[in-house]
């Protein structure tokens, strides 16, 4: 791997409302990565704003990547997020296959499909089927509980889940292809707020508790996965990377809540960027 890991980030770009590429690029850059953006769509703001401009980049993605290929770009990681159509999933799989012919990059898929038991309106059943095929070629996936249940064809019944069922979900997600599955933003039946993980190669489950704030901010999933991936590419262990990411997201959400920032603006991660470099001495992650 290069001194500076090069990441092909295939996500949408929203001008206002901290999410997707406007979170990924500054955070991963601060963690020592070169982020190369390949947009799936361009938005004036994310879709939680009442009025926004949307430009579908599907018809330009392949030509865009072709130029990277002509210039002999080599990537250490491919990281995908929001997808706007079935065709984009096919394009992403093609790009992953072409990148893999050159080296052995880390493939990370954040299957952005829904939250709180509700699938996003842009997602069709055909897209869900296609997402399963994208997940099958990933090394790491980072769904929330709703997205995990969509992938596993499980009916969403509650925001809370018991640990044994969570472990079953994590293992079944890895059975779909990935070596590592992470389910974010979990509330256990015991009232814990955790991020959970399964490492298939070492057959180990981990959980990391986080401080919960009862207010919704878009983009926290993008923030978590970008942090988690950035710390992994720094060389931190799997549970350590999860904990560093969990702690930073908690601090960012708390700072945003205390500043009384409108939820639509996302979290004020810029305010606490120095926290990215605070080394931990005592870890609180545990095996499940």
- Confidence at 78, pLDDT banded by 50, 70, 90: very high
Question: Sorting pLDDT into bands at 50, 70 and 90, what band is 218?
Answer: confident
pLDDT at 1: 46
Question: What global pTM score does this model have?
Answer: 0.94
Q: How far apart are the first and last CA of the chain?
A: 32
Q: Is pLDDT of 85 > 90?
A: no
pLDDT band at 115 (very low <50, low <70, confident <90, very high): confident
139 and 106 Cβ atoms separated by less than 8 Å: yes
Domains and CATH numbers, the chain: 6-287 (3.40.1190.20)
* Spatial separation of the C-alpha atoms in residues 283 and 236, rounded to whole Å: 13
10 has a pLDDT exceeding 90: yes
Three-point CA angle 266, 212, 14, nearest 5°: 15
Has residue 2 got a pLDDT over 80? no
Q: What are the residues facing 13 on neighbouring strands? A: 42
Nearest by Cα to 182 from 133, 131, 242: 242
Indicate left, alpha or beta for 191 from its phi (over 0: left) and psi (-120 to 50: alpha). left
Contact indicator for 99, 75 with CB cutoff of 8 Å: yes
Instruction: Please report which helix (H) or strand (E) contains residue 233, including its range.
Output: helix 220-234
Tokens of 240: 């350590």
Collapsed DSSP state (helix, strand, coil) of residue 17:
coil
Residue 13, token pair as written in the block? 């770009």
């Amino acid at each position: 791997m290069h001194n500076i890991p090069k990441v092909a980030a295939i996500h949408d770009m929203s001008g206002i409302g901290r999410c997707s590429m406007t979170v990924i690029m500054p955070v991963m850059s601060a963690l020592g990565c070169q982020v190369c953006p390949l947009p799936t769509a361009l938005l004036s703001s994310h879709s939680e704003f009442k009025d926004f401009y949307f430009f579908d980049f599907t018809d330009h993605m392949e030509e865009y990547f072709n130029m990277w290929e002509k210039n002999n770009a080599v990537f250490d990681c491919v990281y995908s997020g929001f997808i706007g159509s079935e065709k984009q999933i096919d394009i992403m799989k093609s790009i992953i296959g072409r990148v893999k012919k050159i080296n052995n990059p880390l493939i990370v898929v954040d299957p952005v499909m829904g939250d709180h038991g509700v699938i996003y309106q842009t997602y069709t059943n055909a897209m869900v089927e296609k997402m399963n095929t994208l997940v099958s070629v990933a090394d790491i996936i980072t769904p929330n509980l709703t997205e995990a249940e969509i992938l596993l064809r499980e009916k969403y019944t509650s925001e809370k889940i018991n640990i044994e069922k969570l472990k079953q979900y994590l293992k079944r997600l890895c059975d779909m292809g990935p070596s590592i599955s992470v389910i974010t933003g979990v509330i256990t039946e015991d009232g814990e707020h955790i991020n959970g993980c399964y490492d298939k190669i070492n057959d180990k489950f981990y959980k990391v508790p986080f401080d919960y704030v009862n207010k919704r901010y878009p983009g926290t999933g993008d923030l978590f996965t970008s942090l988690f991936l950035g710390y992994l590419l720094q060389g931190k262990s799997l549970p350590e990377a999860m904990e560093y990411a969990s702690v930073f997201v908690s601090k960012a959400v708390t700072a945003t809540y205390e500043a009384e920032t409108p939820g639509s603006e996302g979290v004020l991660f810029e305010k606490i960027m120095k926290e990215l470099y605070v080394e931990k001495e005592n870890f609180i992650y545990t095996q499940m």
